[in-house]
Chains A and B, each alone.
Chain A
Amino acid sequence: GNSVTQMEGPVTLSEEAFLTINCTYTATGYPSLFWYVQYPGEGLQLLLKATKADDKGSNKGFEATYRKETTSFHLEKGSVQVSDSAVYFCALISFAGGTSYGKLTFGQGTILTVHP
Protein backbone atom coordinates (compact mmCIF):
# COMPACT_ATOMS: atom_id res chain seq x y z
CA GLY A 1 0.00 0.00 0.00
CA ASN A 2 0.87 3.65 -0.11
CA SER A 3 2.71 5.38 2.69
CA VAL A 4 4.37 8.70 3.45
CA THR A 5 7.07 9.27 6.04
CA GLN A 6 8.02 12.74 7.24
CA MET A 7 10.88 13.79 9.43
CA GLU A 8 10.12 13.90 13.11
CA GLY A 9 9.24 17.26 14.55
CA PRO A 10 8.84 19.69 15.99
CA VAL A 11 11.27 21.89 14.10
CA THR A 12 12.27 25.19 15.68
CA LEU A 13 14.16 27.81 13.69
CA SER A 14 15.13 31.43 13.91
CA GLU A 15 13.80 33.85 11.36
CA GLU A 16 15.76 33.82 8.07
CA ALA A 17 17.11 30.32 8.68
CA PHE A 18 17.08 27.65 5.99
CA LEU A 19 14.34 25.05 6.22
CA THR A 20 14.28 21.44 5.11
CA ILE A 21 11.51 19.01 5.97
CA ASN A 22 12.19 15.53 4.65
CA CYS A 23 9.52 13.41 3.05
CA THR A 24 9.82 9.94 1.52
CA TYR A 25 7.10 7.76 0.10
CA THR A 26 6.11 4.36 -1.19
CA ALA A 27 3.33 4.10 -3.72
CA THR A 28 1.72 1.97 -6.37
CA GLY A 29 1.13 3.42 -9.79
CA TYR A 30 2.36 6.91 -10.62
CA PRO A 31 1.76 9.22 -7.67
CA SER A 32 1.31 12.94 -7.57
CA LEU A 33 2.96 14.52 -4.55
CA PHE A 34 1.77 17.40 -2.40
CA TRP A 35 2.72 19.58 0.50
CA TYR A 36 -0.15 20.94 2.53
CA VAL A 37 0.15 23.54 5.29
CA GLN A 38 -2.11 23.98 8.30
CA TYR A 39 -1.87 27.32 10.07
CA PRO A 40 -3.03 27.48 13.69
CA GLY A 41 -6.79 27.06 13.98
CA GLU A 42 -7.29 26.58 10.25
CA GLY A 43 -7.86 23.82 7.75
CA LEU A 44 -5.29 22.45 5.34
CA GLN A 45 -4.20 24.52 2.38
CA LEU A 46 -2.35 23.25 -0.64
CA LEU A 47 1.18 24.70 -0.57
CA LEU A 48 2.65 23.07 -3.67
CA LYS A 49 2.49 19.95 -5.78
CA ALA A 50 4.37 17.95 -8.41
CA THR A 51 2.80 15.46 -10.75
CA LYS A 52 5.73 13.62 -12.32
CA ALA A 53 9.36 12.80 -11.75
CA ASP A 54 11.78 15.74 -11.70
CA ASP A 55 8.96 18.27 -11.49
CA LYS A 56 9.57 21.08 -9.02
CA GLY A 57 6.64 22.56 -7.15
CA SER A 58 7.03 26.04 -5.71
CA ASN A 59 4.93 28.59 -3.86
CA LYS A 60 5.54 31.38 -1.33
CA GLY A 61 9.29 30.74 -1.42
CA PHE A 62 8.88 27.03 -0.69
CA GLU A 63 10.12 24.41 -3.13
CA ALA A 64 10.06 20.64 -3.45
CA THR A 65 11.36 18.41 -6.22
CA TYR A 66 9.80 15.06 -7.11
CA ARG A 67 12.70 12.58 -6.94
CA LYS A 68 11.60 9.21 -8.24
CA GLU A 69 15.02 7.58 -7.81
CA THR A 70 15.04 8.34 -4.08
CA THR A 71 11.23 8.35 -3.65
CA SER A 72 11.48 11.71 -1.95
CA PHE A 73 9.78 15.09 -1.99
CA HIS A 74 11.66 17.23 0.53
CA LEU A 75 10.32 20.70 1.33
CA GLU A 76 12.78 23.60 1.40
CA LYS A 77 12.75 27.32 1.98
CA GLY A 78 15.78 29.54 1.93
CA SER A 79 14.69 32.06 4.56
CA VAL A 80 11.78 31.32 6.88
CA GLN A 81 9.57 33.92 8.50
CA VAL A 82 7.60 33.90 11.73
CA SER A 83 4.46 33.69 9.61
CA ASP A 84 5.62 30.29 8.28
CA SER A 85 4.96 28.73 11.68
CA ALA A 86 2.47 25.95 10.98
CA VAL A 87 2.10 22.20 10.56
CA TYR A 88 3.32 20.85 7.22
CA PHE A 89 1.97 17.65 5.70
CA CYS A 90 3.48 15.69 2.86
CA ALA A 91 0.92 13.66 0.91
CA LEU A 92 0.50 11.58 -2.20
CA ILE A 93 -2.27 10.40 -4.45
CA SER A 94 -1.63 7.53 -6.79
CA PHE A 95 -2.89 6.92 -10.28
CA ALA A 96 -3.00 3.78 -12.35
CA GLY A 97 -4.01 3.58 -15.98
CA GLY A 98 -4.85 7.28 -15.93
CA THR A 99 -7.37 6.83 -13.12
CA SER A 100 -6.96 8.38 -9.71
CA TYR A 101 -7.74 6.26 -6.71
CA GLY A 102 -8.89 9.52 -5.18
CA LYS A 103 -7.36 8.84 -1.80
CA LEU A 104 -4.74 11.11 -0.35
CA THR A 105 -2.20 9.40 1.87
CA PHE A 106 -0.69 11.78 4.43
CA GLY A 107 2.46 11.83 6.45
CA GLN A 108 2.09 12.48 10.16
CA GLY A 109 2.82 16.18 9.88
CA THR A 110 5.77 18.29 11.01
CA ILE A 111 5.28 21.21 13.37
CA LEU A 112 7.41 24.21 12.42
CA THR A 113 7.94 27.08 14.83
CA VAL A 114 9.90 30.14 13.71
CA HIS A 115 11.16 32.60 16.33
CA PRO A 116 11.96 36.26 15.64
Chain B
Amino acid sequence: DADVTQTPRNRITKTGKRIMLECSQTKGHDRMYWYRQDPGLGLRLIYYSFDVKDINKGEISDGYSVSRQAQAKFSLSLESAIPNQTALYFCATSDLGREDTDTQYFGPGTRLTVL
Protein backbone atom coordinates (compact mmCIF):
# COMPACT_ATOMS: atom_id res chain seq x y z
CA ASP B 1 0.00 0.00 0.00
CA ALA B 2 1.15 3.53 -0.77
CA ASP B 3 2.46 5.57 2.15
CA VAL B 4 0.77 8.78 1.01
CA THR B 5 -2.63 8.54 -0.62
CA GLN B 6 -4.81 11.20 -2.18
CA THR B 7 -8.49 11.17 -3.04
CA PRO B 8 -9.93 11.72 -5.53
CA ARG B 9 -7.31 11.15 -8.22
CA ASN B 10 -9.26 13.08 -10.78
CA ARG B 11 -12.07 15.59 -10.39
CA ILE B 12 -13.99 17.82 -12.73
CA THR B 13 -16.12 20.51 -11.15
CA LYS B 14 -17.84 23.75 -12.06
CA THR B 15 -17.02 27.32 -11.17
CA GLY B 16 -18.37 28.28 -7.76
CA LYS B 17 -18.55 24.77 -6.37
CA ARG B 18 -16.93 23.77 -3.11
CA ILE B 19 -14.50 20.91 -3.35
CA MET B 20 -12.31 19.03 -0.90
CA LEU B 21 -9.17 17.09 -1.67
CA GLU B 22 -8.04 14.60 0.92
CA CYS B 23 -4.65 13.26 1.88
CA SER B 24 -3.79 10.41 4.21
CA GLN B 25 -0.41 9.05 5.22
CA THR B 26 0.84 5.97 7.00
CA LYS B 27 4.43 7.15 7.38
CA GLY B 28 3.87 8.53 10.87
CA HIS B 29 5.24 11.92 9.84
CA ASP B 30 4.34 15.10 11.68
CA ARG B 31 4.66 17.48 8.75
CA MET B 32 2.25 17.64 5.83
CA TYR B 33 2.06 19.91 2.81
CA TRP B 34 -0.16 20.82 -0.11
CA TYR B 35 1.34 21.90 -3.42
CA ARG B 36 -0.06 22.70 -6.81
CA GLN B 37 1.74 22.01 -10.06
CA ASP B 38 1.26 24.08 -13.17
CA PRO B 39 3.14 23.56 -16.44
CA GLY B 40 6.41 25.49 -16.50
CA LEU B 41 6.06 26.67 -12.91
CA GLY B 42 7.21 23.69 -10.94
CA LEU B 43 5.40 23.09 -7.66
CA ARG B 44 4.20 25.89 -5.43
CA LEU B 45 3.34 25.55 -1.77
CA ILE B 46 -0.27 26.25 -0.77
CA TYR B 47 -0.34 25.33 2.94
CA TYR B 48 1.77 23.36 5.34
CA SER B 49 1.29 21.91 8.80
CA PHE B 50 4.03 20.95 11.23
CA ASP B 51 1.62 19.22 13.59
CA VAL B 52 -2.11 19.00 14.21
CA LYS B 53 -2.27 22.40 15.90
CA ASP B 54 0.14 24.19 13.59
CA ILE B 55 -1.03 25.29 10.14
CA ASN B 56 0.70 27.85 7.98
CA LYS B 57 0.07 29.60 4.71
CA GLY B 58 2.37 28.96 1.82
CA GLU B 59 3.10 31.20 -1.12
CA ILE B 60 -0.27 30.81 -2.87
CA SER B 61 -2.90 30.26 -0.16
CA ASP B 62 -5.55 32.67 -1.45
CA GLY B 63 -8.71 30.81 -2.41
CA TYR B 64 -7.75 27.72 -0.43
CA SER B 65 -8.24 26.47 3.12
CA VAL B 66 -6.99 23.38 4.94
CA SER B 67 -7.88 21.16 7.84
CA ARG B 68 -5.56 18.86 9.75
CA GLN B 69 -8.02 16.37 11.19
CA ALA B 70 -5.37 14.10 12.65
CA GLN B 71 -1.67 13.50 12.37
CA ALA B 72 -2.33 11.30 9.36
CA LYS B 73 -4.92 13.42 7.55
CA PHE B 74 -4.65 16.80 5.86
CA SER B 75 -7.44 18.11 3.63
CA LEU B 76 -7.41 20.96 1.14
CA SER B 77 -10.61 22.83 0.32
CA LEU B 78 -11.55 25.18 -2.45
CA GLU B 79 -14.50 27.12 -1.07
CA SER B 80 -15.59 28.48 -4.43
CA ALA B 81 -13.63 26.95 -7.27
CA ILE B 82 -12.51 29.08 -10.21
CA PRO B 83 -11.00 27.99 -13.55
CA ASN B 84 -7.47 29.18 -12.73
CA GLN B 85 -7.41 26.64 -9.92
CA THR B 86 -7.27 23.94 -12.55
CA ALA B 87 -4.01 22.16 -11.76
CA LEU B 88 -2.38 19.04 -10.43
CA TYR B 89 -2.40 18.99 -6.62
CA PHE B 90 0.09 17.10 -4.52
CA CYS B 91 0.18 16.24 -0.86
CA ALA B 92 3.52 15.56 0.80
CA THR B 93 4.84 14.54 4.21
CA SER B 94 8.13 14.83 6.05
CA ASP B 95 9.63 14.20 9.46
CA LEU B 96 12.50 16.38 10.59
CA GLY B 97 13.17 14.16 13.56
CA ARG B 98 14.60 11.41 11.41
CA GLU B 99 17.85 11.48 9.48
CA ASP B 100 15.93 12.26 6.33
CA THR B 101 16.86 15.88 6.67
CA ASP B 102 13.26 16.84 6.08
CA THR B 103 12.98 14.89 2.84
CA GLN B 104 9.44 15.16 1.56
CA TYR B 105 7.44 12.21 0.27
CA PHE B 106 4.71 12.86 -2.23
CA GLY B 107 1.33 11.37 -2.95
CA PRO B 108 0.25 10.44 -6.49
CA GLY B 109 -1.57 13.71 -7.08
CA THR B 110 -5.11 14.87 -7.80
CA ARG B 111 -5.89 16.30 -11.20
CA LEU B 112 -8.53 19.00 -10.74
CA THR B 113 -10.35 20.66 -13.60
CA VAL B 114 -12.63 23.64 -12.94
CA LEU B 115 -14.97 24.43 -15.80
Question: Taking beta carbons and an 8 Å cutoff, which residues of A are in contact with B?
Answer: 4, 32, 34, 36, 42-46, 49, 51, 89, 93, 95, 100, 102-104, 106-109
Contacts and interface: CB of A to CB of B under 8 A. Distances in A.
B31 A102 contact: yes
B45 A43 contact: no
Interface residues of B, number: 25
Given A43-B108, A44-B90, A100-B96, A49 B101 contact: yes
Given A44-B90, A49-B101, A100-B102, A106 B42 contact: yes
A65 B108 CA distance: 28
B67 interface: no
* B contact face: mostly helix, strand, loop, or mixed: strand
Interface in B68-115: 90, 92, 94, 96, 101-109
A106 B92 CA distance: 14
B50 interface: yes
5 contacts: A4-B42, A34-B103, A42-B109, A89-B42, A109-B40
Contacts of B104: 46, 93, 104
Nearest to A1: B59
Contacts of A34: 103
Given A43-B107, A43-B108, A109-B42, A102 B48 contact: yes
Given A42-B109, A89-B42, 13 more contacts: A34-B103, A36-B106, A43-B4, A43-B108, A43-B109, A44-B92, A45-B106, A46-B104, A104-B33, A104-B104, A106-B44, A108-B40, A109-B40
A102 B50 contact: yes
